[in-house]
């Protein structure tokens, strides 16, 4: 029996006339609710709903109630098209197999689905709701604009905070995604081959309060990185930004794409992002959400109409088991002026035990979550006063800072009394939080304060300069010029890492080469040890070009060597090839550097050829390093460190040649030298290699003793690469001794560490220990 016949039978059981039956199918297929259908048919809603469970079962439709309803509507819409245009949309089939969730039928006209599942590139966030209420007109309009028949390229959804801009964009994207997966269905919903979501939003206002958004794309570079990741071309992230953009544009020209850029107003380099969006190929539709009215094809969101607002209140109350009568619903709607986020927050507070009479004052309170989300004038009272300057200053810091830092950046001459009063005032207004002597902003407050700062250009210029100067001095005080060794002072850098990162990114964007270099020279060791290799590669690439443009060949060579050394340690062929090219360039420019630097450069050449398994060339470069060492006028300490380095890589060459006993002798010599000079990082590395050799030679006790001594050292100093290598060796030891549970755990942790460093070869080796 055809599904259409089955539905006809249901209609007949409900005693519907043929005309009513046609209306039933038409209205349901076009998206009308069952209640509305029942009213039009002069029958009960129960009659329409009575056997819908059997309909779903008969059509093999499963999933959530909302998902089943959407798929049924798509199916019915297709059936209606078939009835209207049988020759165009239908084809006779016999004995067809089921495809997807919609079975083929026998003997008569039937729907022909796509032959195989379509892959859609997408990174959509999870929906924050179980039912989307209202905004039908806006959804219809947005679907029209997204249609390939419409010439609109950039579409803006604008409105005040909490009005539902992001929610609308995500809902439309999901509908497009679900339809794109089932393109055999006839539907007015646009389809895409890629749906990409990027957001500069700092946090969400939910029923339980403000929640931070953990991932953000606030710059052109970050947006490109997210697009590349979603399209499975993340390998381009190491390229210069302009090259990334060209590759992305080329890729997007081959795909029907929906790109969502959420919270445009908080993107730092907005003009550059807009330039990218304007230049995208015509295959791309862009939805931009913003609190500012934009000059694109706009969809302006106001507060929910009363009918939709009351429906949302009832839905949220049911979801959270809150009892609220019609009068209270009207009172709540009026109290929040129909703002969806405020409605959801209010019902959440009632679920937490508050009564409506207590919730409404909270929403209107300038220190409450909703008021702070919309900033209902709380900052206006502070305009052009010290608290206002402190608020804008704190917006520069993504992590909390000390009182001294805030004052030193905010004011040319800080006054402790003014600073204390200003911070106290901000805390009273819930604009600043204080935690263990450090002051910070909620992400949402920071978002607002950054917008405030943008309107005070003269103050912003001076503030940014003091901000950069502060971190130049900070990096000099707590960084380290010898990046090869561990340093206990890295704890200070760790506390300020995100703030430092923002300063460096801003200096790059502004082309402030001298400031960037001053910070970079003192923190690059920390960046390497903590495993921030993406940043290290990006920053070194920028520094190379900036140094060359400045004619600073000494620092250009250093940046070239720095990027190359990181690429070489990743060990992938493309990275090794680029690393070899860069090291050769650095070697050709070595006359700009001292012999001490040339020693490091020769050592990196040896490492490169060890990684490429060109052991004879590696030996030759170690010989060059030895010759340079004899020519150099180094202190005894520096000379011994270089000798440790040479012995270490001689041991690596012997190990790779399979001469494990010779390798063991060389590593032990290097270990002895490293201990003499107090080189802890080298000592741990030697322990790890000696443990690995002990495993091969069957000395399991010795291997365990070495690892138990050096792994805690690496963990104490948070050296991501060293930790991964130690856990890898430990995993092999535990597997040999039969401790499989422990071995699997260590292998998994080692593989994750290697993957985060892009060391794919090592990660695969760990995964192969336990292939199942």
198 pLDDT band, cuts 50/70/90, is very high
Whether the per-residue pLDDT at 428 is higher than 70: the answer is no
Segment 529-554, tens digit of pLDDT: 888 888 989 999 999 999 999 999 99
Where does 121-300 sit in CATH, by number? 3.40.50.300
Segment 466-485, tens digit of pLDDT: 999 999 999 988 876 555 66
* 594 torsion bin: left (phi>0), alpha (psi -120 to 50), beta (else): beta
Mean pLDDT of 167-190: 83
Contact 179, 74 (CB under 8 A): yes
The architecture that CATH gives domain 679-772 is Alpha Horseshoe (1.25)
**Residue indicated by tokens 């209010």:** 346
Contact 679, 641 (CB under 8 A): yes
Segment 310-337, tens digit of pLDDT: 989 988 898 888 889 999 899 888 877 7
pLDDT at 101: 34
pLDDT at 127: 83
Whether the per-residue pLDDT at 84 is higher than 50: the answer is no
Segment 205-261, tens digit of pLDDT: 776 777 777 777 889 999 999 999 999 998 898 899 999 999 999 999 999 999 999
pLDDT at 620: 94
Give the separation between CA 654 and CA 651, rounded to whole angstroms.
5
Whether the per-residue pLDDT at 201 is higher than 90: the answer is no
Of the listed ranges 210-219, 559-568, 647-656, 717-726, the one predicted with least confidence:
210-219
Question: Taking the complete model, does pTM exceed 0.85, yes or no?
Answer: no
Which residues are registered as beta bridge partners of 439?
401, 434
Per-residue tokens: 83? 């009835």
Mean pLDDT of 268-273: 90
357 pLDDT band, cuts 50/70/90, is confident
194 pLDDT band, cuts 50/70/90, is very high
Give the separation between CA 268 and CA 506, rounded to whole angstroms.
9
Q: Where are the alpha helices (DSSP H) in 337-400?
A: 340-351, 356-364, 369-374, 386-394
DSSP-derived 3-state class of residue 355: coil
pLDDT at 378: 57
Give the separation between CA 673 and CA 692, rounded to whole angstroms.
20
Q: What angle do CA 160, 161, 164 make, to 5 degrees?
A: 90
Contact 225, 196 (CB under 8 A): no
Q: Give 126: exposed, middle or buried? Use CB within 10 Å, 0-12, 13-18, 19+.
A: exposed
Give the separation between CA 537 and CA 548, rounded to whole angstroms.
17
| DSSP annotation of 304 | P
Domain ranges of the chain: 3-110, 121-300, 306-374, 391-455, 679-772
pLDDT at 24: 56
Q: Give 188: exposed, middle or buried? Use CB within 10 Å, 0-12, 13-18, 19+.
A: exposed
Give the separation between CA 565 and CA 337, rounded to whole angstroms.
59
Cα–Cα distances (Å) from 560 to 480, 536, 570, 595, 611, in that order, read 20, 12, 16, 17, 18
Give which of 163, 263, 202 is closest to 446, Cα–Cα.
Answer: 202
272 pLDDT band, cuts 50/70/90, is very high
Q: What is the mean pLDDT of the chain?
A: 82
Where does 391-455 sit in CATH, by number? 1.10.10
Give the separation between CA 529 and CA 497, rounded to whole angstroms.
13
pLDDT at 514: 95
Supply φ then ψ for residue 171, to 5 degrees: -65, -45
Contact 179, 299 (CB under 8 A): no
pLDDT at 154: 94
Segment 283-293, tens digit of pLDDT: 999 999 987 76
Within 364-492, strands assigned E span 401-402, 433-435, 438-440
As a residue count, the chain comes to: 772
Of the listed ranges 81-90, 411-420, 515-524, the one predicted with least confidence:
81-90
Contact 720, 757 (CB under 8 A): yes
567 pLDDT band, cuts 50/70/90, is very high
| DSSP annotation of 265 | G
**Residue indicated by tokens 């063991």:** 664
Q: Give 728: exposed, middle or buried? Use CB within 10 Å, 0-12, 13-18, 19+.
A: buried
Give the separation between CA 239 and CA 759, rounded to whole angstroms.
18
């Amino acid at each position: 029996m055809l599904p259409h016949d089955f539905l006809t039978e249901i209609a007949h059981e409900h005693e519907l006339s043929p005309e009513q039956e046609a209306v039933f199918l038409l209205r349901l297929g076009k998206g009308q609710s069952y209640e509305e259908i029942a009213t039009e048919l002069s029958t009960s809603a129960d009659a329409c709903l009575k056997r819908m469970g059997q309909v779903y079962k008969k059509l093999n439709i499963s999933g959530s109630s909302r998902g089943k309803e959407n798929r049924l509507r798509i199916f019915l819409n297709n059936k209606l098209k078939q009835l209207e245009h049988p020759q165009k949309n239908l084809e006779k089939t016999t004995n067809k197999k089921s495809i997807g969730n919609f079975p083929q039928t026998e003997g008569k006209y039937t729907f022909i689905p796509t032959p195989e599942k379509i892959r859609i590139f997408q990174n959509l966030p999870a929906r924050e709701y179980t039912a989307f209420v209202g905004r039908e007109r806006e959804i219809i309009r947005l679907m029209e604009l997204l249609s390939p028949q419409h010439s609109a390229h950039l579409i803006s959804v604008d409105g005040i905070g909490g009005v539902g801009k992001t929610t609308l964009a995500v809902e439309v994207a999901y509908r497009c995604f679900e339809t794109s997966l089932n393109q055999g269905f006839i539907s007015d919903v646009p389809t895409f081959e890629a749906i990409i979501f990027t957001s500069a939003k700092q946090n969400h206002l939910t029923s339980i309060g403000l929640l931070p958004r953990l991932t953000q794309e606030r710059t052109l570079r970050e947006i490109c990185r997210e697009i590349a990741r979603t399209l499975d071309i993340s390998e381009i992230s190491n390229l210069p930004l302009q090259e990334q953009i060209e590759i992305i544009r080329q890729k997007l020209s081959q795909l029907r794409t929906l790109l969502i850029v959420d919270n445009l107003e908080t993107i730092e380099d907005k003009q550059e992002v807009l330039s990218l969006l304007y230049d995208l190929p015509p295959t791309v539709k862009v939805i931009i959400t913003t609190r500012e009215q934009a000059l694109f094809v706009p969809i302006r969101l106001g507060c929910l109409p009363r009918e939709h607002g009351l429906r949302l209140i009832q839905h949220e109350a049911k979801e959270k088991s809150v009892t609220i009568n019609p009068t209270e619903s009207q009172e709540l709607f009026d109290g929040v002026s129909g703002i969806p986020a405020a409605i959801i927050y209010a019902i959440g507070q009632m679920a937490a035990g508050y009564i409506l009479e207590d919730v409404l004052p909270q929403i209107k309170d300038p220190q409450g979550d909703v008021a702070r989300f919309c900033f209902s004038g709380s900052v206006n009272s502070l305009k052009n006063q010290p608290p206002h300057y402190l608020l804008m200053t704190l917006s520069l810091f993504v992590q909390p800072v000390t009182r001294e830092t805030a004052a030193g950046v905010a004011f040319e001459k800080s006054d402790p009394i003014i600073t204390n009063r200003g911070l106290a005032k901000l805390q009273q207004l819930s604009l600043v939080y204080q935690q263990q002597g450090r002051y910070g902003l909620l992400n949402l407050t920071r978002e607002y304060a950054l917008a405030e700062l943008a309107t005070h250009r003269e103050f912003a210029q001076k503030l940014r300069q003091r901000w950069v100067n502060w971190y130049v001095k900070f990096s000099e005080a707590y960084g380290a010029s010898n990046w090869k060794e561990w340093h206990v002072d890295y704890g200070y850098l760790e506390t300020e890492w995100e703030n430092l990162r923002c300063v460096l990114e801003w200096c790059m964007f502004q082309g402030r080469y001298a400031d960037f270099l001053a910070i970079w020279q003192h923190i690059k060791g920390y960046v390497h040890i903590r495993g921030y290799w993406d940043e290290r590669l990006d920053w070194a690439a920028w520094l190379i070009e900036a140094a060359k443009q400045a004619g600073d060949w000494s620092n250009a060579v250093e940046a070239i060597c720095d990027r190359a050394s990181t690429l070489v340690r990743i060990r992938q062929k493309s990275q090794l090839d680029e690393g070899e090219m860069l090291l050769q360039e650095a070697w050709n420019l070595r006359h700009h550097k001292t012999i001490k630097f040339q020693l490091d450069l020769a050592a990196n050449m040896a490492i490169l050829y060890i990684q490429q398994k060109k052991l004879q060339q590696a030996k030759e470069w170690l010989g060059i390093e030895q010759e340079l060492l004899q020519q150099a006028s180094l202190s005894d300490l520096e000379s011994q460190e270089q000798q440790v380095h040479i012995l270490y890589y001689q041991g690596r060459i012997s190990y790779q040649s399979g001469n494990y006993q010779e390798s063991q002798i060389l590593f032990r010599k290097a270990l002895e030298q490293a201990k003499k000079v107090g080189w802890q990082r080298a000592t741990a590395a030697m322990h790890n290699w000696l443990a690995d050799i002990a495993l091969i030679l069957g000395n399991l006790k010795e291997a365990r003793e070495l690892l138990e001594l050096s792994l805690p050292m690496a963990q104490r100093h948070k050296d991501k690469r060293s930790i991964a290598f130690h856990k890898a060796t430990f995993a092999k030891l535990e597997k040999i001794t039969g401790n499989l549970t422990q071995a699997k755990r260590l292998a998994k942790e080692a593989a994750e560490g290697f993957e985060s460093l892009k060391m794919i070869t090592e990660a695969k080796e760990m995964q192969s220990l336990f292939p199942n």
